[in-house]
Amino acid sequence: MSAFDRPIERRGTGSYKWDGAAALFGRDVLPFWVADMDFAAPEPVLEALRRRAEHPVFGYEAKSDAIVQSVRQWMCARHGWEIPAEWLMFCPPSTIVGMAGLVMRLTAATSGIACHTPGYSPLFRLVEDSGRRLVRCPLVERRGKFHLDVDDLRRRLDDDVRLLLLCNPHNPTGRVFTEAELRAVAALAADNDLIVVSDEVHCDLVMPGHRHVPFGRLRGERTVTVISPNKTFNTAGMPQSTFIIPDPELRAVFAGFLDTMQLNHESTFGAVAAEAAYRHGAAWLDELIPYLDANHRLVRAFFEGNLPTVRATPAEGTYLAWLDCRASGLPEEELMKRLLETGRVGLYPGTVFGPEGRGFLRMNIACPRSTLQRGLERIADALG
C-alpha cells in the first residue's frame, strides 16, 4: 500500500476544501473542487517546520541565500534551467498577488491583457478588477485535446495589448504545452513587444511521458516565470512564490511593487517549507507522480466503463481532471443539481473557467484512491 492511500481526516481542521464546501455548495459534499491535495506534506518539510517552531520569536524574516540556492538547484535538476541568483524574486502572500502587482505596474488602465480560455479564473478577475481589458484567446480543441492557437492570438492582438498571462501546465485542461507551441508564442511575443507572465505553479506535476518546458528558458527577456512549491508539496496554507525575472527593468518594477505593499520580507514558515521541499522533497515527488497518474487513469477507465457520456480529457499534467460532459446533453445547471442533490459531490462547473468551459467539470483527483473511487461512483449514480 502506498503512503498516499492512507486517508487523513481533514474535517474540523479549518480546511477550506472540506470545512468550507458546505458554504459554497449549500450542503455537505465529498469535495473534489479547490486545488489542494489530501496528502501529508513530505516528512522533511514537516521536520523543518517543527524545528523552526521551537524558536519562540516569529518576527520579520529576511530573504536568505539558502532559499535562493534551493530554488536554483531545484530548477536546474528538475527542469534543466540554470538561473542566475539575481533573477529570483519572492512574493510571500501568493502568486496571484505578485501577478496582480505586475499587471498594475506594467500596463496602463486602458491596456488589453491576453489570457487563454478556458483558464484559471483568478487570472481573469485580476485583469478585470484592475480595470484592464480582458482579451480572451480560446484554446483550440482537436480530437479531445486542447492546443494553443497562435494564429488566433495574433489576430486578437492590437496596439493596446501589452501583456499575455500564460498558464502552463494548463489549469483546467491539464495540457503540458510542447516546446514547439511555446516557441511559437515566444516568437509572436518578440515580434509584438509583448511581455509574457507565465504561471507555472503546476510545473513539477507532469505525468510520465511529458516534459515541462519553462517559458523563460526559451525567451528570457521580457518574461516573468512564476513558480511555487505550494501545489507540488501541498503547502498552500503557507504561501510562497518565486518570480523569475531576467530583465533588470522588470525586476526594478516588481521590486517597487513589493516595497510599496510591504512584501519585501519572507513568510517565516513559507520560506522554511519551501527550502526543505526543494532540497529534500524529490524522492517524495517521484512517488507522488505515479500515484497521480494512476488516479488519472482510473478516472478515464471508470467513465469509459460506467458512464461513457462523460469523458476525461487526457491529463498531461496537474492533479485536475477536465471532464467533458457535453455528450450527456445536460445543461450545466442540471449537471450541478444532480451532482449535489443525488451524488453529494462537489466539483467546479466548467463555466468557472470561462464560458468556453460550458459542458465540462473540473475534478481534483489528488486524494486516496478509495476516496476517488467513492466520488466516481457518486458521480455515476447522479448522472447515469
Cβ atoms 322, 360 nearer than 8 A:
yes
User: 3-state DSSP: the chain helix, strand, coil percent, rounded to 5?
Assistant: 45, 15, 40
pLDDT given for residue 137 in this prediction:
97
Q: Provide the CATH topology of domain 47-280.
A: Aspartate Aminotransferase; domain 2 (3.40.640)
pLDDT of residue 159: 82
Specify whether the CB–CB gap between 224 and 216 falls below 8 A: yes
Helix count and strand count (H, E) for the chain = 14, 15
Bridge partners, residue 31, by sequence: 346
Torsion angles phi and psi, residue 117, rounded to 5:
-130, 150
Q: What's the pTM?
A: 0.96
Architecture of domain 3-42+283-383: Alpha-Beta Complex (3.90)
Cα(363)–Cα(380) distance, integer angstroms: 14
Residue extent(s) of CATH 3.90.1150.10 domains in the chain: 3-42+283-383
**CA max distance for the chain:** 59
The whole-angstrom separation of Cα 49 and Cα 27 is 35
Query: Range(s) for CATH 3.40.640.10 in the chain?
Result: 47-280
Per residue of the chain (384 residues), what is the pLDDT tens digit? Answer: 899 999 999 999 999 999 999 999 999 999 999 999 999 999 999 999 999 999 999 999 888 899 999 999 999 999 999 999 999 999 988 899 999 999 999 999 989 999 999 999 999 999 999 999 999 999 999 988 999 999 999 999 988 999 999 999 999 999 999 999 999 999 999 999 999 999 999 999 999 999 999 999 998 789 999 999 999 999 999 999 999 999 999 999 999 999 999 998 889 999 999 999 999 999 999 999 999 999 999 999 999 999 999 999 999 999 999 999 999 999 999 999 999 999 999 999 999 999 999 999 999 999 999 999 999 999 999 999
The full length of the chain comes to 384
Angstrom distance (rounded) from CA 100 to CA 222: 17
Q: Give me the pLDDT at residue 93, please.
A: 85
pLDDT attached to residue 1 = 81
Q: Taking a C-beta distance cutoff of 8 angstroms, is the pair 276, 233 a contact?
A: no
User: For residue 158, what pLDDT is reported?
Assistant: 85
What secondary structure letter does DSSP report for 41?
P
